[in-house]
Amino acid sequence: MIETQTFPRILADLTCVRALDGTRVYWTDPNLSGATAHLSQTDFAHPSNSNNIVLLKSARQRFIYSCTTPFGPMVVKLFPLSLVSSLKHRKYAATEFVNTLKADDLGLSVPRVHAYLEKRQGLRVSCVGIVFEELQGYQELSRLLRRGIFSVEKCGTIAAETLAQLYAVGANHLDGRDANIMVHPETGQIRVIDWQFANFVAPRAEWLLEHLAGFHLQRSHEYRNYYLDSYWLQELHALSNHTSSIQLFRDRVVSLSKRKYSLGKRSKLTPLSG
């Protein structure tokens, strides 16, 4: 693994501001710390009551909002914590915060991380979250294909280039599917999102590329036939300067794409066997 600063050490180096409701917000840019009061006044529990926020996605343990602030648009990703889920989901937010900062340090195209926040009820942390830049104008890679904005060939090239970049720095994203590759159709800029499961390996393992490609192929239902019937795997192999033969690489990727590995197994890179 690549050594990184511990999560408490990173927070200790950031500007911490406490809002009136007790929320602690750790800003990566001190110039944005004035947004704390604005965030604390936002009713994330009832977005229809607030003029400045829009609920983008919701799940049992995750809510994502678009929030307009005096400092520009931001996205707030919140993880409400119950006594049962506290440790697990608190770790997800902390890991995504640290991993996104690490990916940015390595030169990968990721959303800018503005802050990490904690809401408290007495001594208990009741909610954690991350504040990102809002990716205005960006769309999921698969959505660009479905809407006819990009061809399947262009989507394939973007996917290959993105996986090659992850491989180049040893970033095992673990969820590198097309839904997490955000593209601005006018500028062509790319942002890779959702880093809560990722880890980084050094020295880079050669079979990292096989795992990245196998999982991407497994989840890319709209592209699968194109990936298998075209030169996509050959393009990815060449972009990454992979040393195995193209046939061996293809065989391993296709085999991995058919296996249902648990998250725990995918987080531990090993050569394909059997």
Sequence-distant (6+) residues with CB within 8 A of 169 are 106, 107, 108, 200, 204
Global confidence as pTM: 0.91
The torsion of the CA quartet 62, 116, 19, 12, rounded to 10 degrees, works out to 150
List C-alpha distances in Å: 5 to 2, 34, 172, 190.
10, 26, 18, 26
Nearest to 131 by CA among 187, 60, 68: 68
DSSP line for 163-207 = HHHHHHHTEE-S--SGGGEEE-TTT--EEE---TT-EE-SSPPTH
CA dist., res. 72 & res. 32, Å (int): 10
Asked if residue 163 lies in contact with residue 210, where contact means CB atoms within 8 angstroms, the answer is no
pLDDT tens digits, residue range 115-138? 999 988 777 888 899 999 999 999
pLDDT tens digits, residue range 10-68? 999 999 998 877 889 999 999 998 888 888 778 887 888 888 899 999 887 789 999 98
pLDDT tens digits, residue range 81-100? 876 555 666 788 999 999 99
Place of tokens 């193209």: 246
